[in-house]
Chains A and B, each alone.
Chain A
């Protein structure tokens, strides 16, 4: 079975631009979460979506937004990019919403903002 997939693998943008990252969860998983991992740090929670609704949001500015589609895939959008947005963006899927569900992570999208 395919794991969590993310696209693109790498991305280079300049300050002020907009970016869209994509994630496809494991088949049967209805929950998708997004995390930002800055170099040398642990992942930080950005959003969780379940059944196309936002169910959790971390401490990130409104420049960050996301959505989930009927097929449970998800997009993360970041507007007005800053140098500090350079990071590995990880998507994770899980069966449900519960806090005890194991989250399966994708390989990530490495975003570089110049």
Chain B
């Protein structure tokens, strides 16, 4: 069955530290997409990245980087030189071609607190 696991419930770091948020997924599909969303205290989910199952290239966007490894079914997210504004709950999500079209399967989220 499809599933997304974010084993880290909460992480606390000091500003400027690097932090990695883990995501492990399960799916029987060979075609799927993986997403990361950020949820600040306001509650609105903010899209960060989308990656398809055929593209294992790592991606960097400013202080954010993502490491996708199909061999370990992982899609980890690293924030370099963290800032207080990075404090939020981060969700990893899976979307498959089979099953209900277009729905996202979310992990339970990792709450990141960045202290000054």
Nearest CB of chain A from residue B58's CB, rounded to whole Å: 19
Which residues of chain A are within 8 angstroms of B108 by Cβ–Cβ distance? 40-42
Closest to B4 in A: A42
Contact A105 B101, beta carbon cutoff 8 Å = no
Which among A42, A44, A98 is the interface contact of B101 at CB below 8 angstroms? A98
Check B44 against A99 for contact (C-beta < 8 Å): no
Number of interface residues of A (CB under 8 A): 32
Residues of B contacting A99 in the complex (Cβ-Cβ under 8 angstroms): 32-33, 95-97, 101-102
Of all chain B residues, which has the CB nearest A3? B44
Binds A, one of B12-20, B45-53, B60-68, B77-85: B45-53
* Chain B hits for A104, CB < 8 A: 47
Is A56 a contact partner of B45 (Cβ separation < 8 A)?
no
User: Is B45 a contact partner of A101 (Cβ separation < 8 A)?
Assistant: no
Q: Is B88 an interface residue (CB 8 A)?
A: no
For B109, the closest partner residue in chain A by CB is A42
> Quick check: is A18 within 8 A (CB to CB) of the other chain?
no
A56 x B44 contact (CB < 8 A): no
Q: Verify if A106 is at the interface (C-beta below 8 Å from B).
A: yes
Chain A 6-41 interface mask (CB, 8 Å, partner B; 1/0)? 000000000000000000000000010101000011
Q: Is the beta-carbon distance between B102 and A33 smaller than 8 angstroms?
A: yes
Contacts known (A42-B107, A42-B108, A42-B109); A98 close to B102, Cβ less than 8 A: yes
Among all A-B residue pairs, the 5 with the closest Cβ atoms: A42-B106, A56-B100, A45-B103, A105-B45, A107-B44
Q: Can you give 8 A-B contacts (C-beta < 8 A)?
A: A41-B109, A43-B91, A99-B102, A100-B52, A102-B35, A105-B47, A107-B42, A108-B44
Q: Report which A residues bind B (CB closer than 8 A).
A: 31, 33, 35, 40-45, 48, 50, 55-58, 88, 90, 92, 94, 97-108, 110
